[in-house]
Structure 1
Amino acid sequence: MAQTVFVTGATGFIATYVIKLLLEQDYIVIGTVRTEEKGDKLLKLFDNKSFSYVIVPHLTDSKKDFDQILQSHPEIEIVLHTASPVFPKYYKDAEQDLILPAINGTKNVLESIAKYGSNVKRLVYTSSNAAVHSVNREGPNFVENEDSWNDVEWVQGESKDIDAGTGYRISKTFAEREVWKYSSNNPNVKVSVINPVFVFGPQLFDETVHELNYSSDLVGSLVTNGNGDDYKKFQGSFIDVRDVAKAHLFAFQHDNTINKRLILKERTFTEQTLLDIINAKFPQLAGKIPKGSPGSDKEPLSKRVVLDNTTTREILGFEFISLEQSIYDTIDQIIKVKGI
C-alpha cells in the first residue's frame, strides 16, 4: 500500500520538485497551501489523483490547522516540513514576517505530530545554510561543516529594526533548533534536516517563471534588467533545486540520514561567475545583458569561509548537478517563456 507524505509549503520552489518526485515514486501526497486558489492551481499543474491539498493560511497561527490535518489523516507516515518565509515581497517587520512564522510554524507542526501523528515515522525539515554559517566566521581560515551552527542571537520583542538578512538567519537557526529539540523528546519519529545554500535551477512549471522565488530571481535579473552595470552584486554557494528535492526523498528513505544535517552545496560563485557562464552559453544575448569583468570572481571567492560538506556527499552518494548546467537550464527556460 502506498505511503502518505505530508508536505508543508507545497507551492514553494523546492516543494514542487519534491512533490513531483514523490508522485513519480507512487506516494500519496497531501500538501499545504495558503489559499484555495493556489491549491486549485497546483491540482491542475500536477494533474495527479495522488495529490491533494489542505489550506493553512498563516504559519504563525497554524496550530489548529495542523491539528485538524493530522487528526483527519492518520494515514500520514512521512512529514516534509518545507514551509517557511524567504524574504517576503512585502517585507515590513523581520520578527512578524520572517522570524515568528518560521519558528511558530515549525513548533506547531511538530506539536501536532506529537499529539496526533501516531503513524508518523520520518520527519524531514528544510532548514538552510543560514543556520550553519555565522557572520562571525568569515574568511578562508574558517571551516564550517555539518556540526557548525550560526551563533546569531534573538530575544522575541526585544530586537528592533532587524534587516531581512539577519531576520532570515534568525528564523532558520531558531526553527531548526526546535526540530532537534523535538527529536530528542520524540525518538519514535526519525528526523533528518536539509541545509541547502542558494538554490538555483529552472522552475518545474513554465507557468511559474513569472513568479520567481528569491534565489531564482537573482539569476533571472541578470538577463532581464538590461545590459548596464546596475545589477545586484552577490556571492555564495550553490545547489540545484533538483538535487535538493532528491535529497529530501533520500533523507526519509535511508537510515544513514537519521539525526543528520545534510549540507547541500555544489560549489561557490559570485554574480560574475554567473555572468561568465551566461555569456559563454548564450551568445545570442550579447549586447543585451551585462558582461561585468570576466574572470574577476577568483579573488572574492578565495576570501570566502570554507563550507565543507564532505560528510553529506558521502551519505548521499550521488553527484550534484553542476552550476553550469543549472544556470543553462534556468536561463534557457526564462528566454523561452519571456521571449528574450
Structure 2
Amino acid sequence: MTQTVFVTGATGFVGSHIVKALMEAATIKLATSTVTGDRLRVVEVNDIFEDKIDPDVLKGVDALIHAATPWPTSTPLEQMVPRSISGALNIIDQAEKAGVKSVIMTGSLASVVNSFTEPFYSDDDWNSITIKEQVLSSKEAMEEIYAVSKKYAELVIWKWAGNILMLRSPLTAAHLWAIRYPDFGFWIDVRDVAKCDVKALKAPPTSVVGRKRLIITSPHDMEYADALKFLAEARPQLKSRLNKTDPPKRMHYRLPCDFARIEEVLGIKKEQFFTRNETILNKIDGYLALEEKWVKQGIDTTLDQSLVFVSDYRLENTENGTSNFVM
C-alpha cells in the first residue's frame, strides 16, 4: 500500500536526508521536497511556523514528518520558544484537520539532557530549563534557548497527542539526534536519523508498544584520537591536513540507548546502524569529491582563516605557519 508523506524542513540538513530516504522507499510518495520527480509534489511555504497551507495539499496525505525548527541565526532569540511551540501546533493542527493519521516529530537530544555528563537518558527525561529569562541571561543563550524551544515544542505536541489520540490513530514521535562533533561524544549518522523517520511510518500502534518517544544515538564510540588515527591510515593523503594537537577528551563517547526498545518500535537492529568508520569515510570522501570538483572549475579551495569560526576552539599558529584547532 502506497503512503503519501508531507515533510517539513525538507531544505534542511536532516530534512533533505529524510526526503532522500523516503524517495528510496518504493511505496512512499512525497507531498513536499526540494527536488522534482514522478513521486514528488513540491510545495512552497513562506513560513511553515505561521502560514496556512492550501487544504488541497494535505488532502490524501497519510503521514506528516515534522523536521522544521526555528534557528537562532534566523529567528530573534526572544521569539525562539513561542515560534517553536506555535509553529509545531500550526502545521500539526492543519494536518490533523485534513485527516492525516500519523505524525513523526524529529526532535533533538537538547530537549532531553540537563548536561552531557550523564551516561544514560530515558524517554521520561527532559531538560530542566523552564524560564526563558534565565536562558536569556545565560552566557550560552543561543544553545540554551534552542534547547528549551525544542523541549516545549515537543511537550505541547505530546499534550496535543494526548487529546487527539482518543479519537485518532496513534501518533509516532521519533526523538532523534543528528551527527554533530567534536562538541561531545554523542552522535548518529544522519542517514540513520532519516531511516528511523521512515521506519516510524510503519511502527506498531501505541496500544501495542506504548508511548513512542525514542532517544536514538549511534551504538558506536566516537573517540576522537582513535578516529583521527583511523582517518590518517585510511586516507594517508590527508595526513598533512589533519589536526596536529591532541583531540579533546570527553567523559562519554557514545550515549547508551535502549536498542531493544528501538528494535521493538522501529524494527531497526543495533548492528544496522552505520559504523563510526563508515560515517567518517563517507563524510570525508564527500568533502574530497566536492573539493576536486571545485578545483576542476578553477575555484580556489585555499582556506581563508579570517572566515573560520569554530565554537569552543581557537586557532593557534604553529612554527611552520600552519594553523591548528586547539581547545
Q: Which residue of 1 aligns with 2:239?
A: 286
Please identify which structure carries the higher strand content.
1
Q: 1:61 offset after TM fit, Å?
A: 2.0
Q: Distance in 1 between matches of 2:260 and 2:114?
A: 20
Are positions 1:275 and 2:228 aligned together? yes
Pair 1:117 & 2:105 matched:
no
Matched, 1:259 2:239: no
CA distance in 2, matches of 1:102, 1:293: 38
Structure 2 residue 235 is the aligned partner of structure 1 residue 246: no
State yes or no: 1:193 paired with 2:173: yes
Shift of 1:305: 9.4
* 2:67 aligned residue: 82
Q: For residues 286 and 12 of structure 1, what CA distance do their matches in structure 2 show?
A: 32
Equivalent residues of 2:111, 2:126 under 8 A apart: yes
Shift of 1:147: 2.1
CA distance in 2, matches of 1:310, 1:23: 26
Given the alignment of the two structures, is residue 95 of structure 1 paired with residue 84 of structure 2, yes or no? no
C-alpha separation between the residues in 1 aligned to 2:114 and 2:188?
19
Which residue of the partner structure matches residue 183 of structure 1?
161
Deviation at 1:321, TM superposition (A): 0.5
CA contact (8 A) 2:104 2:201 kept: yes
Residue deviations 1:197-246 (CA, integer Å, cap 9, x gap): 3x23xxxxxxxxxxxxxx4xx6xxxxxxxxxxxxxx62131111111111
* Residues in 1 aligned to 2:236 and 2:42: alpha-carbon distance in whole angstroms: 43
Q: In the aligned structure 2, how far is the partner of 1:111 from the partner of 1:94? A: 25
Q: Which residue is equivalent to 2:32?
A: 31
1:58 maps to 2:47: yes
In 1, the alpha carbon distance for the partners of 2:268 and 2:27 equals 23
**Contact 1:110-1:182 at 8 Å conserved across structures:** no
AA aligned opposite 1:103? I
Alignment partner, residue 160 of structure 1: 136
Distance 2:20 2:210 in 1: 23
Does the aligned pair in 1 maintain the 2:32–2:41 contact within 8 Å?
Answer: yes
Rounded Cα–Cα distance in structure 1 between residues aligned with 2:287 and 2:228:
15
Q: Which residue does 1:138 correspond to in 2?
A: 117
Secondary structure of 1:152's aligned partner: coil
SS in 2 for 1:172: helix
> How far apart, in 1, do the equivalents of 2:121 and 2:58 lie?
40
Compute the displacement of 1:8 (Å). 0.7
Q: Name the structure with the higher helix share.
A: 1
Residue 73 of structure 1: CA displacement?
3.2
Structure 1 residues 248 and 258, CA, compared in 2 at 3 Å: closer, same or farther?
farther
> Partners in 2 of 1:94 and 1:270 — Cα distance?
33
Unmatched 5+ stretches in structure 1: 33-41, 201-214, 219-232
Partners of 2:174 and 2:105 in 1: CA distance: 6
Once the two structures are superposed, residues 309-336 of structure 1 have per-residue CA deviations (whole angstroms, 9 ceiling, x without a partner) of 3344332332210122101100111011
Deviations 1:140-184 (A, max 9, x none): 5xx3122211121135x7863551110111111111111111111
TM-score, normalisation: structure 1 = 0.73
Q: Secondary structure at the match of 1:173?
A: helix
Q: Which has the higher contact order (CA 8 A, sep 6+)?
A: 1
**Aligned residue runs from structure 1 range 214-233, under 5 A:** 215=180
